[in-house]
Chain A
Amino acid sequence: MSLLSIKNANVIYKVKDTEIHAVNDVSFEVEQQDSVGIVGESGSGKSTLAMMILRLLPKDTSVTEGEIEFDDRELLKMTEEEFDKLRWTELAAVFQKSMNALSPVHRIGHQMMNIYKVHCPNVSKLETKKRVLELFRMVNLPERVFHLYQHELSGGMMQRVSIALSLMFNPKLIIMDEATTALDVITESQILEEIMKLQKELKLTRLMITHDMSIVANTCRKVAVMYAGCLLEYGLVTDVIASPRHPYTIGLLKSFPNFKGERAEIYSMDGNLPDLSRLPEGCVFAPRCPYAQKKCFTCPPQTVTYENGRQVMCHFEGGNNGIQY
C-alpha cells in the first residue's frame, strides 16, 4: 500500500508578470517503509516538490494544483489546523540548515524539551529528558550535547541534532532536503549509514532530495529523476541507475567520472537548463537531447509505465529506439 501518492502535481510561481513552472505534472507513489531519492539540478523543482508536500510554499506567490494523498488523507485540501497536527508528528523534515531554526542562546537539550512539550504537554519533565536522550542515542550523539549551545557543535553534530528533532514524534514519513550536502565526505557517509539503520528500526518512509546521484544510488531503493520541473524517470535504483532509459539520465550518469577501471573520457551534455518561465512546446529536454527528433520539439511526451512501476517520460523510450551513447 502506498503511503504517499502524488498525482499531477503542479506548482507555478508568479513573480510580477512572469509565471515560472517549477513543478510540471509530477505523479508518483511512495510505498510504506520505502526510500525514494529525488535527484535533479538546481531549478529542477525537487525542493519545490518537497515544500509542496510540506505545504511550506509561499501562499501569495505560488499556485499549486494536483493531489497529494498521505496515509489516505488529501494533504492539499486540509485546513491549516488539521495539517499542523500532522506536521512533525507524522510528516517530518530535515533541511540543509535546519539548525538555524534553533536559538543560539539556549542550550540544545533545553530547546528540544520545550519542543517536545508543545506536542505532548502532559508528559513529566523527567520523561521528556529521557526521550531527548534516547533520541541522542539513536543518532549517535554523546549525552553532553544536551548541555551545549548551537555554536559549539560541528556541522555533523548539528545535522544529527536536526535528525533527532525530526524523529521526536515517530513520524511516518521523513523528508530530507539536501540534509547532508554541506558535510564532509566521511561524516556524510556516516550519517547516511545511520539514517538507513534508523529507517529499518523505526519503520520510516524516507524521501531524500539531493543533487548527488551517488547518494541516491547508495542509500535509496527508488529514484526519481527531475529536470526543469518534470519527472523524467522514476523507478528502482537498480533499474534506473544500472540501465537508464531517458536520454537525460543516460547523459547524467555518463558525465560522472568513474573511480574504477580505465580512465574513460566523460560525456558532456550540451547547453544549459531551460528558462522555466518559457517552457518549450515539446519535451523539456529536447533542446539538449542528442536524439531529439522533430516530434520531440512539437509535442510533449507521455509518461509510460513499465515493469516494477518504472516510469519514463520520453517519446522514443521503450526498447531504446536506437538510443546509444
Chain B
Amino acid sequence: MEYSIKVTRLYKHFMQRGKRSGQGLFAPKKTVKAVDGINLFVKPGEIIGIIGESGCGKSTFGKLLIKLEDASKGEIWLDGREIGEFYKNDRLLFRRTVQMVFQNPFDTFDPRFTIRKILTETLDIHRIGETEQEKLELVLKGLNEVGLCPAEEYLDRYPHELSGGQLQRISILRAMLLKPKVLISDEPVSMLDVSVRADVLKMLKRLARENGTTLLFISHDINTVRYISDRVAVMYLGRIVEEGIADEVLHNPQHPYTKALISNCSSIDVFEKREKIQVDGEPPSPIDNGPGCYFAPRCFCAYELCNETYPETVYINETHCAACHRIHRMTDEKDPQGEIHLS
C-alpha cells in the first residue's frame, strides 16, 4: 500500500556555533540532535498527532516534512515520492502536495497585504483558476467554508484588523486552497483564545476529512490530540518513543515517559484524582544523550540496561509500539525478571 507520509531513519542535527563538547581546539563541535532517527508511516487520509514537550523536536520534524529545513540523514517520502527529488523536479507540485498551518496566526501574513491579495496570490502562484472572476469565486467560497461570512466583508481587511481565530481560519483556508495531500499543523490553536479553539479544531478536522487530507497535528496538549487524531506518536528528545491508535496509546500507555506525561496532564474533571508519576529533573537538552535510553536519567523504572543501550522498538500489538527495555522484558517470557509489570 502507498503511504501518504513515509519517513525512514530521519535525522536532523544542528551544529552549535563555537561550542565544543570536549577540551581543546579540535574537539568535535556540539551537535543538537533535534530529530534523532524517526521512522513513521502514515496512511492517506489519516490524522496523526505528534505529542511532546518543548524541545523534543516535534516542530523541527514538521519543518523537515515541508522542506523548511533539510534533513541531515534519512529519507522522507510524501505521496509516494522522495521529497528531495520531488522538490527538484516539480517545486510547485511539491508545494501543492504538502502545506502547513503555523502556530502564530498573527505573524502568518504579510502585514501590508489585504486578505484578498493574500488569498488570490496563492492561487496565482499555482495558476489555479482561469480568470480573476473565477479566482475570486474560489476565495469567497473558501471563506464561507471556514466560517467567515459574509465573505465579502473580510476581503479588503488587513491582518491586524482580524482576531487570532479569524486569522487562523484564513491560514487554514490558504493551505486548503491548494488541495494538499498532506497538511502539517504545528500547534495551530495554542495561541488562540479558549472559546475559539474548539471551533478552529472542529473546522480543521472537518476539512481534513472532507478532502481526504493526511493531517499531521503537532501539539503538546494531550486532550486536543486525542480529539483530533486517529493515531498518535509521542516524541522525546528527537525520537518517537511510543506510537499507536490514539485511544490505545493514551489510555493504555506502555512507555514510562508517556505514562508520566499523561498522569501529569491536568484535566478539567474536578473529582478525578489522578496518581501523578513523579519525574525527576528537568527535560535535558538534546545534546550528548549518551548511549542508553534518553529517558533513563529521569525514568522511575530504569535499570542498568537502560543506561547502556537504546531500547529497540517493540510491538505490543499490530498497531501499537514503544521503545522501552521494560516492555521487551515483559514480552520475552524467558527473562526471569519479566514479572515486573508496568501499570
Contact = CB atoms under 8 A, between A and B. Distances in A.
Interface of A: 41-42, 154, 156-157, 184-190, 192-193, 211-215, 217-218, 237-238, 241-242, 248, 251-253, 255-260, 263, 265-270, 272-273, 288
A260 B197 CA distance: 20
A187 B194 contact: no
B196 A238 contact: no
A268 B270 contact: no
A272 B196 contact: yes
Contacts of B247: 263
B202 A253 contact: no
Contacts, number: 114
Contacts of B278: 190
B269 interface: yes
B54 interface: yes
B194 A41 contact: yes
Given A189-B264, A190-B264, A217-B270, A273 B193 contact: yes
A185 B276 contact: no
A187 B283 contact: yes
A272 B166 contact: yes
Interface string B259-303: 011001111111110001011001100000000000000000000
Interface of B: 53-54, 163, 165-166, 193-199, 201-202, 220, 222-224, 226-228, 247, 250-251, 260-261, 264-272, 276, 278-279, 282-283
Contact of B250 (A248, A259, A268): A259
Contacts of B194: 41, 211, 213, 252, 255
A41 B267 CA distance: 18
B282 A272 contact: no
Listed residue (A212, A259, A267) with the most chain B CB atoms within 10 angstroms of its CB = A259
B203 to A, nearest CB: 8
A266 B201 contact: yes
A102 to B, nearest CB: 19
A188 B261 CA distance: 11
A255 B197 contact: yes
A256 to B, nearest CB: 5
Nearest to A218: B266
Contacts of A242: 270-271
A258 B223 contact: yes
Listed residue (B163, B194, B264, B278) with the most chain A CB atoms within 10 angstroms of its CB = B194
A242 B264 CA distance: 21
A214 B224 CA distance: 13
Nearest to A44: B193
A249 to B, nearest CB: 11
Given A213-B268, A241-B268, A266-B202, A41 B195 contact: yes
A15 B334 CA distance: 74
A133 B53 CA distance: 30
B196 to A, nearest CB: 7
A214 B165 contact: no
